[in-house]
A and B are shown apart, each in its own frame.
Chain A
Amino acid sequence: MAKTFVVALYKDEEVLMKAVKHIKTAGVKITDALTPFPVHGLDEAIDVPETRLHTAGFLFGLLGFLTALTCMTLISTVDWPINYGGKPNFSLPAFIPITFEVTVLFASVGMVITYFLRNGLSIFNSTEVIDERITDDHFALLFDATEFTDEGMAKVNNILQESGAVEVNMRTMEKYKNLNR
């Protein structure tokens, strides 16, 4: 579904952070923010909830840990027990290295896949770039244009200009996907 946005561009992250405060006190809702590098505190400032990616990582790690330990135990004690110099078939110390490696493998692979899926990143994306300067040196704030009346739009424009925006544009996005959940 096509969506129209007001895009305010800034040239400095400190100005951007002040602008976010200014805009929020003026009562305008910020839909999204795009930056060339991670700006600390910006996610909190525009009310993006904390990510749960690390929880996914932990769960994948746990899965790897259990998989490795269960498989090695069953293979060595049930499927094909072999006598290694009279040592017990279930030899936990010898299983530790592989258990550790598989835990790390599952946690990282699982987490990276989750990261790509949740962030909407894939090689099949035909990217809709909002502004090509955002990956260079411009910081953008997005506002849902449908929320504003013509009068409101003029007011918002004023607020944005006041807040230090170097440019304010309108932009229609064909496939905008809100990630801020």
Chain B
Amino acid sequence: MGHNYSSPLREPLVTGNKSYHDVTEDICKPTETKGTPMWWLVTGIAFFFVIIYIISVIATVWKGIGMWGLNKTVGWAWDITNFVWWVGIGHAGTLISAILLLFRQKWRTGVNRAAEAMTIFAVICAGQFPLIHMGRIWYGFFIFPYPNTRGGEGISSLWPNFNSPLLWDVFAISTYLTVSLLFWYSGLVPDFATIRDRAKGWRKKIYNVLAFGWQGKAKQWQRFESLSLVLAGLATPLVLSVHTIVSFDFATSVIPGWHTTIFPPYFVSGAIFSGFAMVLTLMLIVRKVLKLEDYITLAHIESMNKVIILTGSIVGIAYITELFVAWYSGNPYEQWAFLRNRIADPWIFGPLLGVEEGQHAPYWWAYWAMMTCNVISPQLFWIRKLRRSIAFTFFMSIVINIGMWFERFVIIVTSLHRDFLPSSWSYYSPTIVEVGIFTGTLGVFFFLFLLFAKFFPVVAIAEVKSILKTSGDQYVSDFKEKDEQFLEKVSKRELIFENGKSGGLVPNPTFKK
């Protein structure tokens, strides 16, 4: 079919000499066996945090926003930090499933299903925060524009403000959740059919409903591919628009530290950066626990780490650009916000930049946590050994997510806590209720993900099968991962294959005309 051509330089994406049937077996198995004690334990812990979440939300709604540590200057803090953090994490899933589909990146197939699930759960967690912050959560539906009787006499309704970025957010987040859900589910349907056809008894009945009566007809697949492609084309600008609009929440204001034109690209790359870190955290656990090392290989992990280098570097450049522009603009408020509210630590940079003793930035620790985690640490992935080290990648994925949480905290709280009126300057710290809500959403996220990993096919079965002939290790036999000499020859274009063919790129031996 002409598709079975693969560069000999490409690493296999499916190892273990798998046949189509093996793929089905391996990926369906976790859904067909009882949960392991480990699964029950971890799910139990996650559920414990779900309960903490429920209690904290009830406390907030019952008593009001006074349960949080907010004050006159810091009118939103952990809630909006967590909101932006969760939305950002969601972005990686869409990048993998949509943007990499348009770029025809085959390694997408091993991780797209779980990454999309992660997107949906992350956006669900994100959506909680603006809702809870409304205080009177039962009036939440007021944000949607629908004809109503709140406008008073006559025919006029009371409408939301279409010029407000907060309303744009409502549209962006709800559209994002809907489209991600549709994209994810339409991809799941053929795989549910695979499970349905293997199942017996009541499981067959449930998966029969979930599979929507999928049969795998040529016409169905033709429409399936058309749908995937168009949804990917729609989701690509959508995902870029979502964090752009989230950044407008800040960028359209006149607060020093927020009023920045580079926010949209800076937020989008930061979102993908943190999202990939979360995908790695989850996938490294999933591949081990569900024994999917043959489908989520080191090649996948390395590819994701490369995306982390790229987006992490963009984030680093954005931080430095922000500092440069603050200095170069000559705007004293902007300079104050960066030097005296963020950078000036008590010992090194504060004294060096002429900040008086005792006048250091109150949140310097948050700023430097962010700088260390996001600017310095991803650069370590330039080293190939570290990119391919599972333990190091896992450690870094957590460091990056801590760093990205601090980024949002720095942007939001340090910009707010000292406003234009020095008498109202204050220091914000969270209450136990806020901590409870945040750790609670982590619980909700992991709880949903664990349920997904137990009952849904974690890897896209049909998609992996469709790349097997081009990326299975039995078909990509020329690649020798550990052979340094081979790699050197590749880089010098002095390649001579065992089958006698020579030159840079030749069809692999299994290629048939």
Contact = CB atoms under 8 A, between A and B. Distances in A.
A122 B221 contact: no
Interface of A: 13-14, 17, 32-43, 46, 48, 50-51, 53-54, 57, 61, 71-72, 75-76, 79-80, 82, 84, 87, 91, 94-95, 97-98, 100-102, 104-105, 107-109, 111-112, 115-116, 118-123, 125-127, 129-130, 132-137, 179-180
Nearest first, the 10 closest Cβ-Cβ pairs linking A and B are: A125-B213, A137-B20, A121-B212, A179-B219, A132-B197, A38-B221, A37-B462, A97-B168, A101-B171, A135-B194
A109 B182 CA distance: 8
Given A36-B216, A71-B145, A123 B175 contact: no
Contacts of B215: 34, 127, 129-130, 134
Nearest to B180: A108
B462 A180 contact: no
Given A121-B220, A180-B217, 12 more contacts: A37-B465, A38-B466, A42-B218, A48-B218, A61-B234, A75-B159, A75-B162, A104-B238, A105-B179, A115-B227, A132-B197, A137-B21
B348 interface: no
Between B1, B161, B219, B226, the greatest number of chain A beta carbons within 10 A of the residue's beta carbon is seen for B219
B159 A79 contact: yes
Given A98-B167, A105-B175, A51 B1 contact: no
Interface stretch (B80-88, B185-193, B268-276, B436-444): B185-193
12 contacts: A36-B462, A37-B465, A38-B222, A39-B218, A57-B234, A76-B162, A79-B159, A104-B175, A108-B234, A121-B214, A123-B209, A126-B208
Contacts of B4: 14
Contact of B178 (A42, A109, A126): A109
A43 B241 contact: no
Nearest to B460: A37
Contact of B198 (A72, A76, A136): A136
The main secondary structure of chain B at its interface with chain A is: helix
A92 to B, nearest CB: 11
Contacts of A72: 162
Given A38-B462, A104-B234, A137-B24, A51 B212 contact: no
Nearest to B163: A94
Contact of A80 (B159, B174, B212, B245): B159
Interface string B156-181: 11110111010110011011001100
A17 B1 contact: yes
- Most A CB within 10 A of own CB, among B179, B208, B221: B221
A98 B193 CA distance: 37
Nearest to A11: B20
Contacts of B186: 112, 115
Contact of B218 (A43, A95, A104, A125): A43
Interface in B203-242: 208-209, 211-227, 229-231, 234-235, 237-238, 241
Contacts of B419: none
Contacts, number: 204
B219 A40 contact: no
B19 interface: yes
B340 interface: no
A102 B171 contact: yes
Contacts of A75: 145, 159, 162
B207 to A, nearest CB: 10
B159 to A, nearest CB: 5
A144 B159 CA distance: 59
Given A101-B168, A136-B198, A80 B156 contact: yes
A129 B197 contact: yes
A94 B231 CA distance: 25
Interface in B458-488: 462-463, 465-466, 469
Contacts of A95: 162
Q: Which of A38, A80, A102, A125 has the most chain B CB atoms inside 10 A of its CB? A: A38
Contacts of B216: 34-36, 134-135
B218 A112 contact: no
A104 B172 CA distance: 10
A68 to B, nearest CB: 9
Q: Which of A36, A94, A122, A132 has the most CB of B within 10 A?
A: A36
Given A121-B212, A179-B220, A100 B462 contact: no
A97 B466 contact: no
A91 B163 contact: yes
A79 B21 CA distance: 62
A181 B188 CA distance: 25
Contact of A121 (B189, B197, B235, B245): B189
B175 A127 contact: no
B222 to A, nearest CB: 4
A48 B157 contact: no
A35 B224 CA distance: 13
B243 interface: no
Interface in B130-171: 145, 151, 155-159, 161-163, 165, 167-168, 171
B492 interface: no
Given A79-B156, A112-B227, A137-B24, A37 B466 contact: yes
A34 B466 contact: no
B196 interface: yes
A155 B344 CA distance: 87
Contacts of A97: 165, 168, 171-172, 241, 245, 248
B472 to A, nearest CB: 13
A40 B197 contact: no
A181 to B, nearest CB: 8
Contacts of A180: 217-219
B222 A127 contact: no
B194 A136 contact: yes
B63 interface: no
Nearest to B464: A37
